[in-house]
């Protein structure tokens, strides 16, 4: 399934998603496109755009970015894309996974990436991107989990994410020293959550 918002102005996005920080320094009439696609629906051109954008922050080289994408991203993972004109300026990956809570297996979305083009980092694109990310998570009817550094906790809390104590979760695929956060996780955590990604 593809969620596509064509030609959404900043002022329109504010109307659709609620009040956004009034310090946003983009022109309210600027056209911004938010698109959500599964891996099976994106082509090599989009994958290259994603890898180039990621490499502006994680500078492992374009070939390494492409190899990681091919090795780790699955066909039903979700890619949220933010464009101004034809330029990709924001990206989030939502990867499908599962968790166990009180011995019950359930599905969740791993919030894997939030990357903004460095030229737009002081224009609050990240806040707009989070509004769109939250919308897509709600549409998929799954809770979401992320880890972040201490200096980003407040940002995610302002976007309706909640901290989860480190003694309340563990994961098989990665060892985290950062803070875990959850969104739309409404059930009671009866025991330690065991989170993992689909193979």
**Packing angle, helices 44-55 and 62-72, rounded to 10:** 120
Can you list the domains of the chain with their CATH numbers? 3-197 (3.40.630.30)
pLDDT score at 173: 60
pLDDT score at 3: 46
pLDDT score at 45: 95
Report the pLDDT averaged over residues 32-54.
Answer: 94
Share of the chain above pLDDT 90, in %: 51
What is the SS3 assignment for 124?
A: coil
Report the pLDDT averaged over residues 48-58.
Answer: 94
Asked if the model's pLDDT at residue 2 lies above 70, the reply is no
pLDDT tens for each residue of 83-94: 988 899 999 999
8 Å CB contact between 77 and 39? yes
Burial bucket for residue 194 (CB in 10 Å: 0-12, 13-18, 19+): middle
Confidence band, pLDDT 50/70/90 cuts, at residue 31: confident
pLDDT tens for each residue of 128-168: 899 889 989 999 999 999 998 889 999 999 999 999 988 88
Higher pLDDT residue, 30 or 28?
A: 30
Of 63-72, 84-93, 120-129, the poorest mean pLDDT is in 120-129
Give the span between the Cα atoms of 101 and 108, in whole angstroms: 12
What is the SS3 assignment for 193?
A: strand
pLDDT score at 20: 42
Q: Whole-prediction pTM value? A: 0.85
């Amino acid at each position: 399934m593809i969620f596509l918002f064509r030609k959404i102005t900043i002022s329109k996005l504010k109307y659709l998603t609620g009040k956004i920080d009034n310090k946003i320094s983009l022109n309210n009439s600027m056209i911004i496109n938010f698109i959500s696609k599964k891996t099976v629906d994106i082509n090599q051109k989009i994958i290259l755009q994603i890898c180039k954008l990621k490499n502006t922050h994680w500078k492992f080289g374009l070939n390494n970015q492409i190899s990681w994408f091919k090795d780790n991203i699955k066909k039903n993972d979700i890619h949220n894309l933010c464009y101004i004109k034809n330029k990709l300026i924001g990206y989030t990956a939502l990867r499908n996974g599962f968790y166990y809570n009180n011995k019950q297996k359930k599905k969740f979305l791993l919030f894997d990436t939030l990357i903004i083009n460095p030229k737009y980092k002081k224009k609050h694109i990240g806040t707009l991107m989070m509004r769109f990310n939250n919308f897509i998570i709600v549409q998929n009817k799954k809770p979401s989990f992320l880890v972040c550094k201490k200096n980003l906790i407040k940002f995610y809390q302002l976007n309706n994410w909640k901290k989860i104590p480190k003694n309340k979760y563990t994961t098989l695929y990665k060892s985290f020293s950062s803070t875990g956060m959850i969104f739309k996780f409404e059930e009671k955590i009866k025991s330690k959550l065991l989170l993992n990604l689909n193979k």
